[in-house]
Amino acid sequence: MRRQYSGNAQGVINGIGVVTCVYVNPQEDRFWLIDYRIYDPQGDGKTKWDPLKDMLSALVYQKGLPFTGVLMDSGYATKTVMLHIEQMQKTYSCPLKTNRRVDDSAGTTPYQRVDSLTWTQAERKQGKPIKIRGFPKDHKVK
């Protein structure tokens, strides 16, 4: 047990950090728990993102599970995780925290918060390419 933030409780609680990997098949409207890891930074020295990266690597390189995309929450929307998923030639979908600094101007204006971006109707439906601060120079996400 450790003190940790809980999105469900919207605050810090005593709990066990469990990172789960669930496989979803929307055609069959079914899901399966594929893997889980206990997040124990004091015991194993790993970061919050290491268990996720370990599970995804095992799915791709050891288990050979056929999947194309990863859905994750904003707590895992980091450069390390996103680039790791891209390196495995998979896609990802995740919200960015509202204070995340991004650029949608191709470098003509300074980075700004995600929640201050303006969106056209087409961009609301299809997304728009942005550069996230701290990512490689020409790397954009949608």
- Out of 27-31, 46-50, 60-64, which region has the weakest mean confidence (pLDDT)? 46-50
142 belongs to a structural domain: no
Name the residue range of residue 74's domain.
Answer: 2-95
Judge if 32 and 82 occupy the same domain.
yes
Residue 75 in domain: yes
* DSSP designation for 70: E
Based on the fold, state whether residues 71 and 103 are members of the same structural domain.
no
Which pLDDT value is given to residue 5?
Answer: 82
Residue 72 lies in a domain: yes
Tell me the pTM.
0.85
Contact, 85 vs 52, CB < 8 A? Answer: no
Are residue 15 and residue 41 in the same domain, yes or no? yes
Position 7 pLDDT exceeds 80: no
**pLDDT, mean of residues 76-98:** 95
Is 91 found in the same domain as 101? no
pLDDT above 70 coverage of the chain, percent? 100
What is the per-residue pLDDT for 47?
87
Are both 119 and 50 inside the same structural domain?
no
101: in domain: yes
Averaged pLDDT of the chain: 92
State the pLDDT at residue 42. 85
Residues 31 and 43 in one domain: yes
End-to-end CA distance of the chain: 37
d(CA 3, CA 9): 13
Is there a single domain that holds both residue 59 and residue 43? yes
Domain count, the chain: 2
Residue 102 near residue 130 (C-beta atoms within 8 A): yes
Same domain, 51 and 91: yes
Q: 55 and 117 in one domain? A: no
Q: Which of 1-10, 40-49, 68-77 shows the lowest per-residue confidence on average (mean pLDDT)?
A: 1-10
Same domain, 9 and 75: yes
Would 89 be classed as within a structural domain?
Answer: yes
The DSSP 8-state label assigned to residue 135 in this structure reads: S
Question: Do 14 and 65 lie in a common domain?
Answer: yes
Residue 59: both structure tokens together? 């799915």
CA angle 133, 137, 141 (to 5 degrees): 65
Residue 71 has pLDDT above 90, yes or no: yes
Residue 89 has pLDDT above 90, yes or no: yes
More reliable by pLDDT, 48 or 30 = 30
Asked if 26 and 62 sit in the same domain, the reply is yes
